[in-house]
Structure formats: C-alpha cells, structure tokens
Amino acid sequence: MSLHETLGQPLLTFPDAQKSPLSIRAKALVFVDPRSRQLRHALEQLAPRSIAVLIRGQTGTGKELLARYLHRESARGGLFVSVNCAAISPTYADAELFGYAVGSHNGSASSRAGWFGSANGGTLYLDEIGDLPLPIQLKLLAALENHEVIRVGAHQPSPVDVRLVAATSIDLAQAVAAGKFHQRLYDYLSEGQLELPALRERVGDILSLAEYFLGIYSQRLGLAVPLISEAAQHALERHDWPGNTRELENVIHFALLVSTGDQILPEHLNLPHQPTPATVIEQMVLELIRQGDRQQLERLKTWIAGI
C-alpha cells in the first residue's frame, strides 16, 4: 500500500504483490474531489477502531482498496484476507470460512484454519457479503460476537480475533426487508459504514486517475507518456462511467495503444457518442410532436425562448 502525489493530490494504491487472486483489477483511488476528501477523513476516523465496517459502492469503484487501507491504518498485526462471497461453495461454505479438523473433510489428513482462522489477528474482507447464505450469515455473526469458531468436525471452539470489513454493491437494508439478509448481522455491520460514490459523482477524481493509469501503462509497455488533450479531458469528465474506475482504466489503456501522436484525442478514448444539449432538445420536441402533446410542446418552446 502506498500514497503518492498526483497532480498535487494524494493517490492511494497497492502493489501487485499485495493482491490476492480475488482482488479487483483497478488499483487506485485519488482524493481530489470534495466527496473523496470527506471519504478519506471518514477512513482515517474508522481505521484505528475495532468495529466492523460496511463499505457500500458500485462494482469497480475500489471497495477492496478502501478495505486494505483500513487494515493498514488499523495497526493490526495479522493478515488481510480477501474473500469473494460469490465464489464460496454453498456445499463447503462452513469449511472454507471456519476451517475443518483432521479427518473431517473428505478424509483429510490435516486440519485447515479456513478464511476466518487465516485472518486471526488481522482483517477479514468479505466482498459482496449479501451473497452469503442465511445459515452462514448466522454462523459468521456468532463467530464475530463470541470471538471463536468451531471448525467442521471439531469438538472444541478455537479463539479468533478478527476484524470484519464487508462490502456490498446492493442495498442490504432492502435485502433485510426481503428476508434475504439477517437483521442482526446488518445491525452489527451498521456501526461503521463507508459510502464510496460512483466515479461520475467524483468528477474531480477522473483526470487524476486517468493520468495515473496513463503513467502506469506507459511504463509497463515501454511507451512515451502522451498528454491528454483538453478535448479528451472534457470527454472524460462528461462520460457517465457505468463501469467506474475499472472502466476508466480500460479506456486509458486502449487510448494509449491506439494513439499515434504525442496527445490522446477524444477519438482515441472510444467513448459512446454524447449528444449535445441542442440534440437532446430536438429529440424532446420530436417526441412531443409524435405524442401530439401540444400543451407540453408549447411549454418547451416557451422555456427554450427564455434561455
């Protein structure tokens, strides 16, 4: 984990060597936009505390990176263990999370600590915690509250000291209301919450991240670092970024490979065409004419005349 300075602003990254196979590809966040600066302040307030943390944000925003930062700043001496809940086998979920004793798992000749035991003294990061089956949610809560786990096939509990950091891209409160997520586990997670806004809501971060990815891929590919033209900058800031930071990384990588001069131009970004305001108004007028809504059409014309 490292903090660099990009365009005079802090950049949060972690090196490839620290990534588990389940980690996200996008490896950087910046704290330029006002919402990002607020997020960093909240991170620094939560990090030293021992409470569980729930990180909410869309796919590709960098939730795992925040979790790693929390672990690093918590001064916990144990490992950071990252687990994608969607990848946990429903059949062997108990053994994967809590471990198993000798001879209890497919005739195994050795025991296994499981993800929970591996994170003893450190942080267990559960990505998309809403994908955990309800029975496992209850066992997870019991392990967290009692500070002990019972491995599959074991007769005695094993003490554990684990801080849970969970992430979700859905509204868990709605999942609770639908009976798909346990209320008590949700309450346990709710004491410490972080909201990671979508990239389109952190416009001030876009260009700093773009510069970072441009530098990373230029170095990796042995290419000169081109400038991002002013027109390309505007295109990046106007784009909606449904894929968030991960999408931005892919766009910059592509632009670097197809650009031929010393600048990246809008056409190198391969972003969807964005209609001008005049085009949007024209489409609205045509739709109202098609619907025969004369009243709304006159209101629109009056509004346009007043611009």
Asked if the structure places residue 62 within a domain, the reply is: yes
Q: Do residue 39 and residue 184 come from a single domain? A: yes
What is the DSSP code (8-state) at residue 271? P
In a domain, 56, yes or no: yes
Which of 155, 175, 195 represents a domain boundary (last residue)? Answer: 195
Q: Report pLDDT for 261.
A: 85
**Measured between alpha carbons, how far is 71 from 25 in angstroms, rounded to an integer?**
19
Condensed to tens digits (0 to 9), the pLDDT of residues 136-170 reads 899 899 889 988 877 776 677 788 889 999 999 99
CATH of the domain at 248: 1.10.8.60
Q: Are residues 153 and 68 in the same domain?
A: yes
Please give the share of the chain, as a percent, with pLDDT higher than 90. 48
Query: Does 244 share its domain with 99?
Result: no
Q: Write the DSSP assignment of 197-245 as a string of letters.
A: --GGG-HHHHHHHHHHHHHHHHHHHT----EE-HHHHHHHHHS--TTHH
- The residue-averaged pLDDT of 185-197 equals 93
Task: Say if residue 101 is in the same domain as residue 222.
Answer: no
pLDDT greater than 70 at residue 15: no
Residue 188 in any domain: the answer is yes
pLDDT of residue 96: 83
Would residue 85 count as lying in a domain?
A: yes
Last residue of a domain, one of 144, 161, 195: 195
Give the phi and the psi of residue 259 in degrees, each rounded to 5.
-75, 145
Proportion of the chain above pLDDT 70, given as a percent: 77
pLDDT at 5: 45
The answer on 180 and 216 residing in a single domain is: no
Q: 264 or 88: which carries more pLDDT confidence?
A: 264
Task: Please tell me which residue, 112 or 276, carries the higher pLDDT value.
Answer: 112
| Whether residues 154 and 88 fall in one domain | yes
Q: Which range marks the domain in which residue 291 is found?
A: 277-307
More confident residue, 45 or 112: 45
Q: Enter the pTM of the model.
A: 0.77
Domain membership flag for residue 15: no
In this structure, the answer to whether residues 153 and 239 fall within a common structural domain is: no
With beta carbons less than 8 A apart as the criterion, state whether 46 and 70 touch: yes
- Looking at the predicted structure, is the pLDDT value of residue 8 above 70? no
> In the chain, how many domains are there?
3
**Shared-domain flag, residues 131 and 163:** yes
pLDDT at 22: 31
Of 149, 165, 195, the residue that ends a domain is: 195
Do 45 and 191 have their domain in common?
yes
Residue 251 has pLDDT above 50, yes or no: yes
Chain-centre distance for alpha carbon 111: 33
Q: What is the CATH number of the domain that holds 142?
A: 3.40.50.300
Q: Are 46 and 192 in contact (CB under 8 A)?
A: yes
Residue 272 has pLDDT above 50, yes or no: yes
Location of structure tokens 């809501």: 201
Residue 43 included in any domain:
yes
159 and 68 assigned to the same domain: yes
* Average pLDDT score over the chain: 82
- Whether residue 51 is contained in a domain is answered as yes
Q: Give the total residue count for the chain.
A: 307
Whether residue 234 lies inside any domain: the answer is: yes
Q: What integer pLDDT is reported at residue 291 of this predicted model?
A: 66
- Based on the fold, state whether residues 169 and 95 are members of the same structural domain: yes
Contact 244, 24 (CB under 8 A): no
Both 58 and 142 in one domain: the answer is yes
